[in-house]
Structure 1
Amino acid sequence: MRLSAILSLVVMLVACDAARGPVTLHPADRPPERLSDWGIVFADGKTFELNADVVPYDLNTPLFSDYALKMRTVWMPPGMSASYMAEGVLDFPVGTIISKTFHYEKSGHQKNGSLTVVKADRESALNEDAELDLSDYVLIETRLLVHYEDGWTALPYVWNETQTDASLEIAGDDRQLGLVAGTDTLDIVYVVPDKNQCGGCHVTDHGAKDLQPIGPKAWQLNRDYSWWGNDATQLENWSGRGLLRGFDGDAPAGVRWSPPGQATLEQRVRAYLDVNCAHCHNPAGAADTSALHLNLDAPVDRLYGICKTPVAVGRGSGDRPFDIYPGRPQDSILVYRMQHSDPAIAMPELGRSAVHTEGVTAVSDWIAALNGDCR
């Protein structure tokens, strides 16, 4: 089905949310300035909610983003569905809109005029009604990935102070935030990526140059989600609702980053590195010249960083000899770069200003437990 037909179908057939109106797929060359014009999510300063035709979802192991909470959603044109893929991202139809809204719990404190928020120890604050009470939470940004006939495009929207709408910010934005944990406050500059920076992560195949979703893979969606009101996995619920075809009930096991659950330390760390690093550090990714492959299906060998000397990292090596030095996390470049927020050293390069303490601890513990000698 061509995009022109899909646009007509959206306008004519999509069921309307009586209070808000339908989801609207806009032409690629004319994205609206207001997020609300898409009809995906809405806020009135009091409540954040989803269009009735939008489906929220969650991941087993999410990308770390400065301790922000995230609301993820997907919408597909009426009568259309994604194709199941056991490996890689599900194959979504043209016309799909994926959204991710970054938000924080309010701390109730002010510090030098900056917004102070709670340093989240969880990933999602969505209740079973798919709403957020904005007296408790503050919306920062919503990112859209929209699938057109010629590929995906990324659009960053930044929420206004009144929390009633978000505006398109192609050049990105930043916010001064104080992350509160107990009696401690960490001051950061929260960075909303510009349109090109979105491609820095979402172009997972550097040769093809095409943007792709990163999160909605079978192993990531293979978990329950309270919004559905049952104990089935999201894959099963999507299939039952007609949003997913080709799924026979057999899916790769999901690895929950936190809480650990049944996963081993190595499984958790490998899932974490896949999500936070492998969009660049894979054989076809933007960091392919580093010869460091951190994708989940890569063997744990030299190309995974074990006793691997750096190709060219400058200050980023910290004079450490190997990417991963078994038994010696303090001498591993991977840990050194995770521990830094300096843009010239930090990894990942985009998407965070804060150090993910819990991630550093888990990766360090895993490396400390590795056997081997790099001599």
Structure 2
Amino acid sequence: MPQAKLSTGMLLSLALLLIAACDSGGDGGGQAAQEPPPTSPGPPDPPAPPNPDPEPPAATAGLDARPSNTTCIAPPRPTGNASFATERVFPNLRFANPNGTSRNPLLLIQAPRDRSRWFVVERFGTVKVFENNPAVTTASMFLDIGARVESSCAECGLLGMAFHPNFPATPRAYVVYTTLNYSGGRGPDTHLSEFTSPDGGLTLNPASEQVVITIAKDSVHHHGGNIIFGPDGYLYFATGDGNSARRNDAQDLRSLLGKVLRIDISGTTGSARYRIPSDNPFADSTTLCNVNGAGPQNCPEIWAWGLRNPWRWSFDRDTGDLWLGDVGQRDIEEVNRVVRGGNYGWRCFEGTQDPQLGGCGTPVGAMLPPIAQYTHELGQAVTGGYVYRGSAFPNLIGRYFFADFVSGRIWSIPNGSAPTLNMTAAEGFDSGLNPSSFAEDPDGELYVVNMRGTLHRIVATGGSSAPGVPEQLSATGCVSATDPTAPASGLIPYTPSAPFWSDGAAKERWMALPDGQNIAVGANGDWDFPNGTVLMKNFRLDNRLIETRLFMRHPDGVWAGYTYEWNAQGSDATLVRGGKRVPVGAQEWIYPSEAQCLQCHTEAAGRSLGLETKQLATSITYPQTGRQGHQLLTLNTINTLSPPIAAPAAEVAYPDPTGTAGTLSERARSYLHTNCSLCHRPNGPTTASMDLQYSTPLASTGACDVAPTLGDVGIADARLIAPGAADRSVIPARMNLRDHPDAMPPNGLGAQVDTAGVALIREWINSLSSCN
């Protein structure tokens, strides 16, 4: 799936809370009492010394009643200038595990000439089939090869599927998946395999697998994996570059990595699984590259090259044009229109820019520019889509739809676009989804697969747009009408025990809940906020108020972030669209874009970062009463938690990483939880398979004594965390970088190194003797 360079969101999301920078007695045993000896006359006893460990005062509530909030309510979401939106389909289906976690649906397709069924490809190695009925409630198993699929790495899994054009008369289908075999070194082999249906197309037989192509890789990243039969009847297969920076395989024509492949599977039998179409660019080469993905000559399977991680692509059913989304690395996501023999530039170019990565090698042929591109201020991983050729929405006909997997923004552009279009936020629609792919039905209507487990479709809106949030902070209803630097009366202050690093800024935080609505407290201690909620945060540098961020859950349940820049007079703040960087005193300050907010406030972390039971198990002074109050007890008292926390004063807070409470290990893990686990956790948006949550044992984090898969930052014998050896540990090394492709958090999400945080993590790592 697409690499979320994501944030990976303030990534090194080093373990415990992550409130978004876009901003979580024993019995005393002993001897039985003895009879006291008889008393004897003597001097009076001296006064008892003071108790060295006095009982702490009983916890009290800081507020007596819940403030009424009628002004700071999230409005309907702005839709920008897009003339389309998404709506959920098959609402009774969700592709999830029994515990509710997503099965990571990556593809939605139909068999040729069969409108009656839909098939969903799940990353963990299964294909489900269900009736094409809006009221359908169940999906059944069509293929299960989960036991042979490597899915533990975030970009690995069952990645693509295509039916034979004559299915089910020719009862074959083809899938692409990453295997459990690592013949290339540090990465799983990719198989393009053929499976046969034993029952007229009702299922595929897992035992019928015939491997067509094997591609070895030395990284767990950049697999591509989409396969489609083209209008010419040939099978097209797009491959990622396997993160092969050292070899630049995307420009090496003796490698199948970083390419679009084209093969002929018609009439093949026995060991000859395919033939080479005579008009392939290197059809004269005599050696196939199907054994390990490389050969001594230019690979005859190649149709086009110069790709990094082609994630989802399609053919225009009217023109036959091949449209492809290629995930970038440093700053540019791109859309290409692929032609025979085309070179799309990676790793010499990322979009229309030279990424200054080195190792470009000698490009073969002219490098073609993309049709469209956008920066990482708008998203982090492009998902290619389709040209709309349906009839339900005439104003959309002929427009190519694509999306960003991380930000959820969907764009459409004219299919004749040239030269390169630079996309903007206003041109897109904020879907609130994680689009892993698009789909097209026989009528040309378009659908969107949400990796969180739901299915949606594209609908026209006529270009109407909700007004969204006000341009001025003073007009939001979230600040005082007489003093915009102060919160409105309906807001409730809060302070997490382990705050997120925000480039050295001091912060103040409030929550605004719609009247009559409560916070749902999960069994895992995370909190889910009702629609209409607004979370507000002020940022100060050198005692000067410079920014206010509003993180809103709109009425449709979708979270979105907005940031306001304060004027020099401190009288009001203005909405910043698309993010910006400005000098503030001696440092640069980053106002995050809307997309960058969601890179930190991840779905996996519950969006509302820093608001969890163990983050608020401390006392603060409430300005409304001037009283010191325990935050959990206060929220219980004013009836905002559902269910109420049974023993709030007994909850143990995450230790402050900058404080003295807790052990060194606890403070370090708390830091990682807050700053890194927003991305580095199960189902997180990063490609690294780490779980840096506070509750995860060190040996189970996937980081301790584990070699890095995204680069070693020049460290010999590197480990993510090398017990006893901070100098060999990649995590603190990446934390200590800025303006570097390996920086954590990623560039754009932080401008200043947290030197104290780096020192804490290094001290902790040096103190470790093992991973247990």
Question: Which structure would you say has the larger Rg?
Answer: 2
3-state DSSP of counterpart to 1:142: strand
Q: Select 1:34's aligned residue among 472, 486, 507.
A: 472
TM-fit CA distance, 1:146:
1.2
- Does 1:141 pair with 2:538? no
The one-letter code sitting in structure 2 at the alignment partner of 1:36 is S
Query: How many Å apart are 1:231 and its aligned residue?
Result: 4.5
1:321 and 2:321 equivalent? no
Amino acid at match of 2:710: A
Q: Which residue of 2 aligns with 1:163?
A: 570
Mapping 1:1-375, distance limit 5 Å: 22-29=71-78, 30=467, 31-42=469-480, 48-105=485-542, 137-148=543-554, 149-178=556-585, 187-205=586-604, 212-227=607-622, 229-246=626-643, 247-250=645-648, 252-287=651-686, 289-301=687-699, 303-313=701-711, 316=713, 318-319=715-716, 321-349=718-746, 350-372=748-770
Contact 2:479-2:486 within 8 A present in 1 as well? yes
Q: Percent identity?
A: 28
SS in 2 for 1:61: coil
Q: How many Å apart are 1:222 and its aligned residue?
A: 0.7
Measured in 2, the distance between the counterparts of 1:279 and 1:103 equals 23
Task: Give the Å deviation of 1:171.
Answer: 0.5
Q: After TM superposition, give the deviation of residue 320 of structure 1 in Å.
A: 5.4
Matched to 2:666, the amino acid is Q
CA distance in 2, matches of 1:322, 1:259: 25
Instruction: Note the C-alpha offset of 1:229.
Output: 4.1
Preserved CA contact (<8 Å) 1:317 1:333: no
CA distance in structure 2 between the partners assigned to 1:319 and 1:167 by the alignment: 48
Shift of 1:89: 2.9
Q: 1:340 to 1:25 in 2, by over 3 A?
A: closer
Cα deviation, 1:147-189, whole Å, max 9, x if unaligned, reads 12232121122112221111111211222134xxxxxxxx432
| Alignment CA distance shift 1:48-1:150 (3 Å) | closer
Q: Map Cα deviations across residues 84-129 of structure 1 (whole Å, 9 max, x no partner).
A: 2352531211111111111123xxxxxxxxxxxxxxxxxxxxxxxx
CA distance in 1, matches of 2:481, 2:764: 42
Amino acid at match of 1:325: A
**When the two structures are aligned, how many residues end up with a matched partner?**
310
Aligned in 2, Cα 1:222/1:302: closer, same or farther, shift over 3 Å? closer
Return the offset for 1:322: 0.5
Give the match's secondary structure for 1:313: coil
1:71 Cα deviation from its structure 2 partner: 1.1
Q: Secondary structure at the match of 1:301?
A: helix
Note the C-alpha offset of 1:39.
Answer: 1.6
Indicate the residue corresponding to 2:402 in structure 1.
none
The C-alpha deviation readout for 1:8-61, integer Å capped at 9, x for no partner, is xxxxxx958xxxx943543222221111111212487x8721111111110100
Deviation of the 1:277 alpha carbon: 0.6
CA spacing shift, 1:147–1:306, aligned 2, 3 Å = same
Which residue of structure 2 lines up, in the alignment, with residue 121 of structure 1? Answer: none
Give the superposition deviation at 1:324.
0.7
Distance change (3 Å), C-alpha of 1:337 and 1:194: same
3-state SS of 2:705 partner: coil
Unaligned runs of 5+ in 1: 1-13, 106-136, 179-186
Q: Which letter does structure 1 place at the counterpart of 2:519?
A: A
* Greater mean deviation of Cα atoms: 64-73 or 349-358: 349-358
In structure 1, distance between residues paired with 2:735 and 2:481: 35
Note if contact 1:65-1:351 (Cα within 8 Å) is conserved in structure 2: no
**Does the CA contact (< 8 Å) of 1:89 and 1:214 recur in 2?**
no
Residue 230 of structure 1 deviates from its aligned partner by: 4.1
User: How many Å apart are 1:232 and its aligned residue?
Assistant: 3.7
| Residue identity opposite 1:159 in structure 2 | W
Superposition RMSD in Å: 2.5
AA aligned to 1:310 is: P
Amino acid at match of 2:521: Y
SS at match of 2:498: coil
Indicate conservation of the 8 Å contact 1:302/1:308, yes or no. Answer: no
* AA matched with 1:138: R
Higher helix share: 1
Mapped partners of 2:481, 2:734: distance in 1 = 38
- In 2, distance between residues paired with 1:230 and 1:344? 47
Distance 2:657 2:547 in 1: 24
Higher relative contact order, structure no. (Cα contacts within 8 Å, ≥ 6 residues apart): 2
Determine the structure 2 residue equivalent to 1:109: none
Letter in 1 for 2:669: R
TM-score, length basis structure 2? 0.38
Please tell me the residue identity of whatever aligns with 2:546: I
- Find the aligned partners of 1:153 and 1:237 in 2 and give their Cα distance: 27
Structure 1 length-normalised TM: 0.76
**Structure 1 residue 79 displacement after superposition:** 2.2
User: Residues 15 and 360 of structure 1: is their aligned pair in 2 closer, same or farther, counting only changes over 3 Å?
Assistant: closer
Stretch deviating more after TM superposition (145-154 or 91-100): 145-154
**Alpha-carbon distance between aligned partners in 2 of 1:268 and 1:294, rounded to the nearest angstrom:** 13
Deviations 1:237-284 (A, max 9, x none): 011112223121246410232553431111111010011011111121
Name the CA shift for 1:193/1:317 in 2 (closer, same or farther; >3 Å): farther
Q: 1:43 to 1:305 in 2, by over 3 A?
A: farther
User: Tell me, what secondary structure is at the counterpart of 2:508?
Assistant: strand
CA 1:138–1:286 in structure 2 vs 1: closer, same or farther (change >3 Å)?
A: same
The 1:260/1:28 distance shift into structure 2, 3 A limit, reads same
User: Do 1:86 and 1:252's aligned partners in 2 also have CA atoms closer than 8 Å?
Assistant: no
Contact 1:83 1:92 in 2 (8 A): yes
Q: 2:604–2:683: 8 Å Cα contact kept in structure 1?
A: yes
